[in-house]
Amino acid sequence: MLVLDDVRVVYPDFEVRYDLTVPTDALCALIGPSGGGKTTLLHTVAGFAPVASGTIRFDGRDLTALAPAERPLSILFQDHNLFPNLTAAQNVGLGIDPRLRLDGAARRRVEDALARVELAGLGQRRPAELSGGQRQRVAIARALVRDKKLMLLDEPFTGLDPGLRADMIALVDALRRERGLTVLMAIHSPEDAASVADLVAFIADGRVDAVGPPSEILAPGRSPKLDRYFRRSG
């Protein structure tokens, strides 16, 4: 279970406050207006945001004070998930050893992970030689070899075509069921999440405004902010 218990993050120009509980193995979609705090929530869990008070726990372990590398999670950003001068295989390999000293077994693991995301044989390509969707698959492959139980995705599929986007979300859904991952996924278009998400959290003005199953959140009348976001009258 992932718990954000009254977590307050203070930046010089703005402040956010989160309360959120996501059961183990669940996929929670984060929706909400741009600038509302979705990315900051993910950065807070990943350890990139200055937490002023509150606690972040995952499966009973307190993450609040841990360095980013010590947290049991992987994160995918919208862009720049790969180091541009390293090959796809090297980028995945960094997930096993950040010094990139890989033995035969490690290299096989990299190949297996690339194959799992349908990139078998493309390991020697550099990011510039891959399509946008392929680049994000490499990042997912790295998350696989890191083998962490919590996965954070910050709108990583927003730039892709609708069909491709659906494929990628289906891939994430399949992997989390395979491996028992807890997933927190910020998305741009809420309808993408309806079929796969167990939970939808609506983030606005730096708060978790509403949480619930997709059917509840995507239906009118749950909260005024939510209704405004969907341009519907409550």
Partner 1 sequence: MSRLPGCLALALLIGVVALGFIGLLSAGGSGAAIDWGYVWSLVRISLIQAGLSTAVSLVLGAALALALARRSRFRGRMLLIAGFNAATVLPAIVTVFAIVALFGRSGWIGEAARAVGLDYGSWVYGLDGVLLAHILLNAPLAARVFLAGLGAVSAEEWRLAAQLGMPPGSVFRFIDWPVLRREAAGVAALMFLACFSSFAIVLALGGGPRVSTLEVAIYEAVRFEADFSRAAVLALVQVGACAAILLPALILFGRRMSEAPPGGVAAMRPDIGSQRLRLLDGAILVLMGFLVLVPMATIAVGGVASLASLADGAVLVAMLTSLAIGVPAGALSVALALGLATLARDLRLRLLRPGLADLTGAAATLILVVSPIALSAGLFVMIRQWVNPFAVGIPLVILVNGLMALPFTYRQVEPPLLLAAERFGRLGDSLGLRGFGRLRLVEWPLLRAPLLVALAMATALSLGDLGVASFFGRGELVTLPVLLHERLGSYRVAEAGSVALLLTLLVAGLFLLAQRVSGGSIARPR
C-beta closer to partner 1: residue 75 or 183: 75
Per-residue mark of binding to partner 1, 86-105 (x: CB under 8 A): x-------xx--xxx-----
C-beta closer to partner 1: residue 182 or 196: 182
Instruction: For the chain, give the number of residues.
Output: 234
Please tell me whether residue 60 binds partner 1 under the rule CB under 8 A: no
- Residue of 2, 31, 75, 88 that binds partner 1 (CB under 8 A): 75
> Could you tell me the smallest distance in angstroms from the CB atom of residue 63 to partner 1?
13
Q: Which long-range contacts (CB under 8 A, 24 or more apart) does 112-119 make?
A: 113/141, 113/142, 113/144, 113/145, 114/88, 114/89, 114/138, 114/141, 116/141, 116/144, 116/175, 117/141, 117/144, 117/171, 119/88
- Residue of 34, 69, 104, 105 that binds partner 1 (CB under 8 A): 69
C-beta closer to partner 1: residue 53 or 85: 85
C-beta closer to partner 1: residue 43 or 137: 43
Q: Which long-range contacts (CB under 8 A, 24 or more apart) does 45-48 make?
A: 45/2, 45/4, 45/71, 45/73, 45/150, 45/152, 45/184, 46/71, 46/73, 46/75, 46/152, 47/71
C-beta closer to partner 1: residue 67 or 105: 67
Bridge partner list, 51: 9
Kindly indicate which of the ranges 39-47, 111-119, 124-132, 159-167 contains the residues binding partner 1, using the contact rule CB under 8 A. 39-47
State the burial class of residue 3 (Cβ atoms within 10 Å of its Cβ: 0-12, 13-18, 19+): middle
Instruction: Kindly state the number of chain residues that form the binding site for partner 1, as judged by CB under 8 A.
Output: 24
Nearest in space to 183 (alpha carbons), one of 60, 8, 66, 193:
193
Nearest in space to 66 (alpha carbons), one of 75, 55, 76, 77:
55
Please tell me whether residue 80 binds partner 1 under the rule CB under 8 A: yes
Please tell me whether residue 70 binds partner 1 under the rule CB under 8 A: yes
Kindly indicate which of the ranges 45-53, 126-134, 159-167, 224-232 contains the residues binding partner 1, using the contact rule CB under 8 A. 45-53
C-beta closer to partner 1: residue 75 or 110: 75
Residue numbers 158-197 binding partner 1 by CB under 8 A: none
Please tell me whether residue 11 binds partner 1 under the rule CB under 8 A: no
Q: Which amino acid is at 185?
A: M
Q: Please, what is the end-to-end C-alpha distance for the chain in angstroms? A: 32
Q: Which positions touch partner 1 (CB under 8 A)?
A: 43, 46-48, 67-71, 74-75, 77, 79-81, 83-86, 94-95, 98-100
